């Protein structure tokens, strides 16, 4: 038997599946399970180690090196591995490559955990997140008929066995299957900075924070594309995310909100809940699990190479999601388009890059009236303060006073014109210049 056939990598996506796989491998086998994260060994006991006793790292390595020459165990199963933890194990294997007696099985969530020089010597086994038959087996005891169990197994496609078990537990307590699935998906996505957008009450047609002509342009764009990608640009407080949600709720069903800055943070630090694997693969798997019709990416500029080349790769995978669909919409929002890699916002990547206009007089008055001002007061405030943002009018209503300086207004105008000059030069840019102030009724 060659050394290669004795080295195996098992790539699984789920702790429950890993547990079941190890359990099957232990059946009718004198396998030893070595957990490097816990520094525990099961299925092995001698004068050096008591069964399942936590030991030191040096003793763990001593036992591993001793076991690879043992005739009394057919398999060594290693779990709880991280890249840096494998250095000593890799060194031991390479030093004794042609003397291995038991098979060595690496249990990992991501194939890249195993150094490439070692991985090239291994038989790599990839396992699906779950199969129809496995999910059917989980639901069958709960269902009144085989047809119902099959329907539940089909509905949970894309979920891991752990997640399917959670859904099954909720169903057993009387929760509707669809609500249970959404609940599990929302929990899964929240740690990645993803949020499922359901039942957003405001549609673009009744949104009062943007001008009527602007809404008409957006609806016309929406009607002329079955697959669409837009980048909304604007000042902080201008309502870009709110507009994106409204646009998605206008025509599309299940949508995702992705907060790019939170996503980058969640993928940059190793936490208990952080999924393992390449960031772009983690994200794409999460998106495919939900199967959304639209995605809204807030703070899109955080996916720029300025924050790391892998962020551009993440964006490529999201655009790939859109390109592989017959219908769908991708919306990005940013306050800093000049910081985004030009390749990410070129024509072909985004259909249009759109600068949100500042609210015109009618829009300002409608915003103020929605906060309870009567028509006369709303008209007066809207006339006197033409360059404020929707968030500013909310603050005016909240504190019933105007506290902004002339310098603040000048900065708004200056920044808006900088964005206008940037976007109007793009071949697919849509932008309008500053509205001339209207001092109605004064």
The answer, yes or no, to whether residue 30 has pLDDT greater than 50, is yes
Return the higher-pLDDT residue of 315 and 377: 377
Of the listed ranges 235-239, 363-367, 401-405, the least confidently predicted one is 401-405
Amino acid 442: pLDDT? 28
Q: Which of 256-270, 303-317, 366-380 has the highest mean pLDDT?
A: 366-380
Residues 118 and 179 reside in one and the same domain: no
Return the higher-pLDDT residue of 233 and 247: 233
Amino acid 49: pLDDT? 65
Of the listed ranges 134-138, 190-194, 322-326, the least confidently predicted one is 190-194
Residues 350 and 362 reside in one and the same domain: yes
Torsion over CA: 357, 362, 364, 368 (sign) = negative
| Per-residue pLDDT tens over the stretch 138-191 | 999 999 999 999 999 998 887 888 889 999 999 999 998 888 887 787 776 666
| Per-residue pLDDT tens over the stretch 332-360 | 999 999 988 887 788 878 899 999 999 98
Contacting residues for 161 by C-beta, under 8 A, at least 6 apart: 14, 16, 17, 20, 129, 130, 134, 135, 138
Strands (E), 234-313: 255-259, 294-298
Residues 280 and 303 reside in one and the same domain: yes
Is residue 37 a contact partner of residue 80, using CB atoms and an 8 Å limit?
A: yes
d(CA 436, CA 136): 64
Amino acid 320: pLDDT? 72
The answer, yes or no, to whether residue 35 has pLDDT greater than 70, is yes
Residues 29 and 45 reside in one and the same domain: yes
Residues 84 and 69 reside in one and the same domain: yes
Average pLDDT of the chain is 82
Amino acid 11: pLDDT? 92
Number of domains in the chain: 3
Residues 321 and 386 reside in one and the same domain: yes
The answer, yes or no, to whether residue 46 has pLDDT greater than 80, is no
Q: Residue 178's domain spans which residues?
A: 132-189
The answer, yes or no, to whether residue 267 has pLDDT greater than 70, is no
| Per-residue pLDDT tens over the stretch 62-102 | 899 999 998 888 999 999 887 566 888 999 999 998 889 99
Amino acid 271: pLDDT? 44
**Angle (CA) 183 188 190, round 5°:** 95
Residues 179 and 213 reside in one and the same domain: no
Q: Which of 45-59, 229-243, 279-293, 340-354 has the highest mean pLDDT?
A: 229-243
**Residue finishing a domain among 126, 144, 164:** 126
Looking up residue 74, the CATH number of its domain turns out to be 3.40.50.300
**Residue finishing a domain among 173, 189, 205:** 189
| Both structure tokens of 291 | 């199967």
Amino acid 335: pLDDT? 94
Cα 20 versus chain centre, distance: 27
Amino acid 252: pLDDT? 65
| Both structure tokens of 348 | 């072909």
Is residue 375 a contact partner of residue 253, using CB atoms and an 8 Å limit?
A: no
The answer, yes or no, to whether residue 193 has pLDDT greater than 80, is no
Quote the percentage of the chain above a pLDDT of 70.
Answer: 83
Is residue 233 a contact partner of residue 355, using CB atoms and an 8 Å limit?
A: yes
Residues 184 and 215 reside in one and the same domain: no
The continuous run of DSSP H or E covering 196 comes out as strand 194-197
Amino acid 270: pLDDT? 46
Amino acid 423: pLDDT? 94
d(CA 124, CA 121): 9
The answer, yes or no, to whether residue 10 has pLDDT greater than 90, is yes
Residues 442 and 316 reside in one and the same domain: yes
The answer, yes or no, to whether residue 263 has pLDDT greater than 90, is no
Quote the percentage of the chain above a pLDDT of 90.
Answer: 29
**Residue finishing a domain among 158, 173, 189:** 189
Q: Which of 267-281, 316-330, 341-355 has the highest mean pLDDT?
A: 341-355
Amino acid 48: pLDDT? 64
* The model's pTM: 0.62
- Say what the alpha-carbon torsion angle 319, 281, 336, 221 is, to the nearest 10 degrees: 20
Within 10 angstroms of residue 340's Cβ, the number of other Cβ atoms is 23
Residues 222 and 207 reside in one and the same domain: yes
Measured in Å, how far apart are the chain's first and last C-alpha atoms? 94
Is residue 315 a contact partner of residue 303, using CB atoms and an 8 Å limit?
A: yes
How does strand 227-233 pair with strand 352-355?
Answer: parallel
What is the DSSP secondary-structure string of 378-434? HHHHHHH-TT--HHHHHHHHHHTS----HHHHHHHHHHHHHHHHHHHTSTTEE--PP
Cα 245 versus chain centre, distance: 17
Cα 423 versus chain centre, distance: 28
The answer, yes or no, to whether residue 259 has pLDDT greater than 70, is yes
Amino acid 255: pLDDT? 78
Return the higher-pLDDT residue of 168 and 285: 168
Residues 82 and 14 reside in one and the same domain: yes
Residues 214 and 154 reside in one and the same domain: no
């Amino acid at each position: 038997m060659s050394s290669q056939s004795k080295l195996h990598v098992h790539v699984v996506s789920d702790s429950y599946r890993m547990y079941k796989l190890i359990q099957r491998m232990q059946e009718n086998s004198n396998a030893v399970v070595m957990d490097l994260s816990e520094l525990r060994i099961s299925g092995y006991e001698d004068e050096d180690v008591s069964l399942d006793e936590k030991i030191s790292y040096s003793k763990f390595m001593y036992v591993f090196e001793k076991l690879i020459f043992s005739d009394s165990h057919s398999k060594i199963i290693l779990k709880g591995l991280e890249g840096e933890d494998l250095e000593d194990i890799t060194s031991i294997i390479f030093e004794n490559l042609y003397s291995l007696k038991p098979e060595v099985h690496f249990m990992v969530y991501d194939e890249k955990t195993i150094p490439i020089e070692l991985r090239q010597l291994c038989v790599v086994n990839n396992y699906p997140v779950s199969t129809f038959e496995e999910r059917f087996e989980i639901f069958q005891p709960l269902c009144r008929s085989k047809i119902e169990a099959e329907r539940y197994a089909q509905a949970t496609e894309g979920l891991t066995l752990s997640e399917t078990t959670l859904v099954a537990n909720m169903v057993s307590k009387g929760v509707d299957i669809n609500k249970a699935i959404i609940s599990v998906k929302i929990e899964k996505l929240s740690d990645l900075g993803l949020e499922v957008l359901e039942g957003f009450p405001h549609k673009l047609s009744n949104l009062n924070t943007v001008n009527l002509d602007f809404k008409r342009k957006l609806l016309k764009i929406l009607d002329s594309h079955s697959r669409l990608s837009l980048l909304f640009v604007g000042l902080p407080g201008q309502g870009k995310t709110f507009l994106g949600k409204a646009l998605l709720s206008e025509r599309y069903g299940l949508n995702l909100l992705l907060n790019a800055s939170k996503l980058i943070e969640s993928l940059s630090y190793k936490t208990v809940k952080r999924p393992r694997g390449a960031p772009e693969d983690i994200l794409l798997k999460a998106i495919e699990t939900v199967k959304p019709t639209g995605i809204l990416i807030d703070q899109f500029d955080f996916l720029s190479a300025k924050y790391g080349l892998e962020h551009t790769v993440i964006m490529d995978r999201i655009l790939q999601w859109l390109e592989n669909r017959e219908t769908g919409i991708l919306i990005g929002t940013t306050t800093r388009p000049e910081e985004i890699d030009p390749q990410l916002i070129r024509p072909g990547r985004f259909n249009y890059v759109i600068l949100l206009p500042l609210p015109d007089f009618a829009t300002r008055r409608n915003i103020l009236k929605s906060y309870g001002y009567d028509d006369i007061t709303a008209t007066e405030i809207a006339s006197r303060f033409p360059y404020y943002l929707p968030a500013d009018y909310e603050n005016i209503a909240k504190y019933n006073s105007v506290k902004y300086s002339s310098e603040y207004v000048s900065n708004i105008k200056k920044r808006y014109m900088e964005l206008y000059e940037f976007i109007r030069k793009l071949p697919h840019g849509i932008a309008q210049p500053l509205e001339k102030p209207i001092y109605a009724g004064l």
